[in-house]
Amino acid sequence: MKKITFGVCLFALAAVIISATINEPTSKLTEDFTIGNPEIASINSLSFGPEGILFLGDSKSAAVFALDTKDVQIVDQGEKFNMGDFDSKIAASLGTTPDNIKINDMAVNPISKTIYFAINVTDGTPVLLQLKGEKFENVDLTNVSYSKVALEDAVAEDAKDRRGRSQRIWAISDIKYHNGKVLVSGLSNKEFASTFRSIAFPFKASQDQTSLEIWHAAHGKFETHAPIKTFDVIELEGTEYLMASYTCTPLVLFPMGDLKDGTHTKGRTVAELGAGNSPLDMISYEKNGKKYFLMSNTNRPVMRLDYEDIANFKETLTEPVTDFGVATGVSYDNLPMPYVLQMDALDNENVVYMQRTATGELVLRSRPTKWM
C-alpha cells in the first residue's frame, strides 16, 4: 500500500512539474511577438535562430521577419534523404510544374531537424514548405506568431523630406542569427555598395541597426566596398570572425569585434575563389575533433576549408595569380559535389543538400560529414 501511495505521490509530483513546465511563461525571445498575418511579400533567405524561430528575409518588404514555428520537438538525428526529381515533386505539391517555381532557400530547424523551403512562383507569391519524410506540408503564413523589423534605409532617412522617391530594394542575399543578433547582407538594385546590417534580436520598435562599412583589399593594393553574397560566423583561436564571400569572388575575414557602426572596417582577403563563380551557401561542421568550413558555388564544386588553415593564414593576399580560375590563399579541397544549389547542416553528423546532377535532375540528398 505504501508503495502504491508513494507511486501516486511521485506521479502527482511529476504531473505538477510537467504542468508547471507547460505553463511556463512565454519565452523572452517571443514575448513581443504578435499573432496575425505578417503580410510577407517575398522570401529570399531563411535562417533558424534559437527556440525554433525562423528568420525570413523579405526583399520586397525590405524587412526581416522572425517566425515562431513552434516546431520545437527535439530530434537528435535528421532523416536520411535521397529524393530524385525534387523540383517536380515540390512543384507538384503546389499543383504546378517546375518551370513555374523557384526554390529560393532551404534551412534545417536545428531542433526538429525538419527542412524548410522558401519557394517563389511565377507571379511572385511566396510559399514556405516543410518536408517531413517525403511529404511536403504548407506553413500557413496568414496566421502566425511573428515579429518584424524593417531594414533601415540610411539614404532614404537622409532625404526624408524628398517626395516621390521610389523604394530602394536590398535584395537580401543572406541572413544568419548569431549570439542575439541577426546579421543581414544585401545587394542593392541601384548603387553598388556594401549593405551589411547587424540587428539586435528580439526586435524592438526603436531598432538599433549597425550598418557596416566593410572593405576588402585585392592583393593589398586596390580596395572596394562591394556587396557580400553569403557569409558565416566562425571561431578561430578564441576569436569570432565574419567569413564573407563577395560577388566578385574574394573570401574575406573580419574580426566580429571590429565591426562597429559607421567604422571603415578593412577585412583580410584569405582566398580568391576563381572567375565566373558566385558563392551560394556556407556551413561549418566538426569531424574527428577538427572544424571545417564548407562552401557551395554556382560554378565550382563544394569547397572544404580547414579552420586551422584559415587560422594559420595570417597575411592577406599580396600576389596576383595569372592562371585562369586558379584560386589563391588558404588551400581548400574540392569535394566531388558540383552544382550544389542549397546546403545546410542536417544534424551533428550529416548535411543535406540540393544538387543538379549531370542529367539535369534536381536531387535532395543527405550525406554523413564523415565522408566529407
Q: Is 161 near other proteins (CB under 8 A)?
A: yes
- 94 or 256: whose CB is closer to other proteins? 94
The correct pick among 328, 355, 366, 369 for binding other proteins (CB under 8 A) is 328
The single residue among 7, 50, 276, 368 that binds other proteins, judged by CB under 8 A, is 276
| Using rule CB under 8 A, residue 92 touches other proteins | yes
Rounded CA gap, 225 and 215, in Å?
4
Three-state DSSP class for residue 201: coil
Burial 210-247 (b: 16+ CB within 10 A, else e): bebbbbbbbeeeeebbbbbbbbbbbebeeeebbbbbbe
| Residue 363 makes contact with other proteins by CB under 8 A | no
360 is an interface residue for other proteins by CB under 8 A:
no
Residues 6+ apart with CB under 8 A from 269: 216, 217, 218, 219, 250, 251, 252, 316, 317, 329
Minimum CB separation of residue 332 from other proteins in Å reads: 14
Does residue 37 bind other proteins (CB under 8 A)?
Answer: no
Q: Pick between residue 169 and residue 200 the one whose CB is nearest to other proteins.
A: 169
Q: Is 114 in the site for other proteins (CB under 8 A)?
A: no
Strands 264-272 and 209-218: parallel
Candidates 23-31, 64-72, 124-132, 283-291; binding stretch for other proteins (CB under 8 A): 124-132
Contact between 162 and other proteins by CB under 8 A: the answer reads: yes
Give the binding range for other proteins (CB under 8 A) out of 21-29, 95-103, 304-312, 351-359: 95-103
Which residues 245-274 are close enough to bind other proteins by CB under 8 A?
A: 247-250, 262, 264, 272, 274
**Number of residues forming the site for other proteins (CB under 8 A):** 84
Q: What residue type is 348 in one-letter code?
A: N
Q: Quick one: 72 or 248, whose CB is closer to other proteins?
A: 248
Residues 165-194 that bind other proteins (CB under 8 A): 165-167, 169, 171, 173, 187-193
Q: Map residue 36 onto helix, strand or coil.
A: strand
Q: 3-class SS at 152?
A: coil
